[in-house]
């Protein structure tokens, strides 16, 4: 017997037929009563998953200094919109703001907005940021950010935007949908109708794959890029995305569910696990360049953090707190080593055309 969110999704499928992976993700994550993000904070060692800002303060601090450098390269505009997409607990923003204390003028210039879909996480963000004296605005959409020069940052934001899947079948891409098993007691994947014109959203590199191939489509990425492109035409800006995924488009199913640090079947218990998919950085760059934006990266997170000086920062922290040496060294490795977060995670900046290239990227990337 399926109840709660699962029951409501099953009912929707019984009435209207199988739904897309994207629709399933949206219901499971943001159902106002029981959605995974809607009701609680899942981020942290004792919760469901860990993200880079919760590993170490160094991560947010370096991003804070990155923002300050970009602001200087933009000519130090008097006001700068600083926007975080999907701020989670607010940890990264609090480290960003702390790092600015070393940068004259920047704190006065920055107006902070947080774009957050979860009511529960908005409360956690407020609790963490208000005592630091951070004045932030909470907004629902990127389009609501006040005009003017801007920097957007998003860590592990794109991976939770709704993703769709397609399978090549008899020479045509068909959407892979979620329906009900024969007994009606569980969810099951089913082959849907051909994609038709929506095949335009397929990663370019994967379009000609043979029958049986699976590809993922990211309408959410396209929407974010469209909104940024619209804004960046009139107001100069940069957007920094850090997330996990390949540098070149890869076929295959990356739909995953994480609950209490373990992978589970993504169809098993919607609302109880984080549902995500890998970000396809090659396709993200294609979307951005076709919208007339400049792209830096993707660069591996480890290389990017090292270019920004994470090793020097770690050495400084250890000098001030020698008793924390082992912990800080471990955090550094966690963020930068190839077999930890250093290689799977990539960093990409998407910018108004013709701006100074942001720090941390090589001239070619």
Residue 316 DSSP code: H
Shorter beta-carbon distance to ligand SAH: residue 93 or 167:
93
Question: Residue with CB nearest ligand SAH?
Answer: 86
Least distance from ligand SAH to the Cβ atom of residue 193, Å: 26
What is the rounded distance in angstroms from the CA atom of residue 235 to the CA atom of residue 229?
A: 10
What is the rounded distance in angstroms from the CA atom of residue 129 to the CA atom of residue 126?
A: 5
> For residue 190, which of 174, 206, 178 has the smallest C-alpha distance?
178
User: How many residues belong to the chain?
Assistant: 365
Per CB under 6 A, the list member of 156, 175, 216, 221 interacting with ligand SAH is 156
Query: Is residue 241 a contact residue for ligand SAH (CB under 6 A)?
Result: no
Least distance from ligand SAH to the Cβ atom of residue 29, Å: 7
Question: What is the residue whose two structure tokens read 């070393």?
Answer: 102
How many of the chain's residues bind ligand SAH (CB under 6 A)?
A: 18
What is the rounded distance in angstroms from the CA atom of residue 9 to the CA atom of residue 25?
A: 11
Tokens of 102: 């070393």
Per CB under 6 A, the list member of 5, 6, 23, 43 interacting with ligand SAH is 43
Rounded to the nearest 10 degrees, the angle between the axes of helix 310-320 and helix 325-336 is 170
Query: Is residue 60 a contact residue for ligand SAH (CB under 6 A)?
Result: no
Per CB under 6 A, the list member of 67, 115, 285, 335 interacting with ligand SAH is 115
Per CB under 6 A, the list member of 2, 103, 117, 227 interacting with ligand SAH is 117
Considering only the stretches 16-24, 46-54, 69-77, 357-365, report the one whose residues sit in contact with ligand SAH under the rule CB under 6 A.
46-54
Residue 338 DSSP code: I
Query: Is residue 51 a contact residue for ligand SAH (CB under 6 A)?
Result: yes
Shorter beta-carbon distance to ligand SAH: residue 155 or 249:
155
Distance, first Cα to last Cα, the chain: 52
Within the chain, strands assigned E span 19-20, 80-85, 110-115, 136-139, 150-155, 164-169, 172-180, 187-194, 214-217, 237-244, 256-259, 262-264, 274-276, 294-300, 345-351
Least distance from ligand SAH to the Cβ atom of residue 23, Å: 14
Query: Is residue 286 a contact residue for ligand SAH (CB under 6 A)?
Result: no
Least distance from ligand SAH to the Cβ atom of residue 207, Å: 27
* x-marked contacts with ligand SAH along 84-103 as a string, rule CB under 6 A: --xxx---x-----------
Considering only the stretches 153-161, 172-180, 247-255, 261-269, report the one whose residues sit in contact with ligand SAH under the rule CB under 6 A.
153-161
Q: Please answer whether residues 60 and 96 qualify as being in contact, where contact means their C-beta atoms are separated by less than 8 angstroms.
A: yes
Tokens of 176: 């892979």
For 293, counting Cβ atoms within 10 Å of its Cβ (0-12 exposed, 13-18 middle, 19+ buried), the class is buried
Which is it for strands 136-139 and 110-115: parallel, antiparallel or unpaired? parallel
Query: Is residue 37 a contact residue for ligand SAH (CB under 6 A)?
Result: yes
Least distance from ligand SAH to the Cβ atom of residue 296, Å: 20
Considering only the stretches 61-69, 155-163, 169-177, 258-266, report the one whose residues sit in contact with ligand SAH under the rule CB under 6 A.
155-163
Binding site for ligand SAH (CB under 6 A): 37, 43, 51, 53-54, 86-88, 92, 115-118, 121, 155-157, 160
């Amino acid at each position: 017997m399926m109840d709660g969110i699962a029951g409501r999704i099953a009912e929707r499928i019984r009435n209207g037929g199988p739904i897309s992976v994207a629709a399933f993700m949206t219901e499971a994550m943001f159902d106002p009563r029981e959605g995974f993000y809607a009701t609680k904070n899942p981020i942290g060692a004792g919760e469901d998953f860990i993200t880079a800002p919760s590993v170490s303060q160094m991560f947010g601090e370096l991003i804070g200094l990155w923002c300050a450098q970009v602001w200087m390269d933009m000519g130090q505009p008097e006001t700068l919109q600083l926007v975080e997409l999907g701020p989670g607990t607010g940890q990264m923003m609090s480290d960003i703001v702390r790092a600015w204390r070393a940068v004259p003028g920047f704190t006065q210039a920055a107006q902070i907005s947080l774009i957050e879909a979860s009511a529960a996480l908005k409360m956690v963000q407020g609790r963490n940021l208000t005592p630091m004296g951070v004045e932030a605005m909470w907004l629902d959409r990127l389009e609501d950010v006040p005009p003017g020069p801007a920097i957007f940052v998003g860590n592990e934001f794109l991976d939770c935007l709704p993703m769709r899947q397609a399978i090549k079948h008899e020479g045509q891409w068909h959407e892979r949908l979620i329906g009900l098993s024969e007994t009606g007691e569980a969810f099951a994947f089913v082959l849907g109708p051909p994609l038709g014109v929506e095949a335009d959203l397929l990663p370019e590199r994967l379009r000609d794959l043979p029958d049986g191939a699976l590809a993922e489509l990211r309408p959410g990425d396209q929407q974010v890029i469209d909104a940024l492109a619209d804004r960046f035409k009139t107001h100069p800006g940069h957007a920094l995305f850090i997330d996990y995924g390949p540098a070149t488009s890869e076929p295959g199913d990356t739909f995953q569910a994480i609950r209490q640090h373990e992978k589970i079947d993504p169809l098993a218990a919607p609302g109880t696990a984080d549902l995500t998919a890998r970000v396809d950085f090659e396709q993200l760059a294609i979307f951005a360049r076709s919208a007339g934006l400049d792209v830096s990266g993707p660069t591996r997170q480890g290389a990017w953090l090292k270019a920004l000086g994470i090793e020097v920062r770690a050495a400084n922290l250890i000098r001030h707190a020698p008793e924390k040496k082992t912990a800080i060294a471990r955090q550094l490795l966690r963020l930068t080593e190839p077999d930890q977060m250093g290689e799977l995670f990539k960093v990409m900046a998407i910018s108004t055309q013709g701006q100074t290239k942001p720090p941390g990227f090589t001239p070619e990337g």
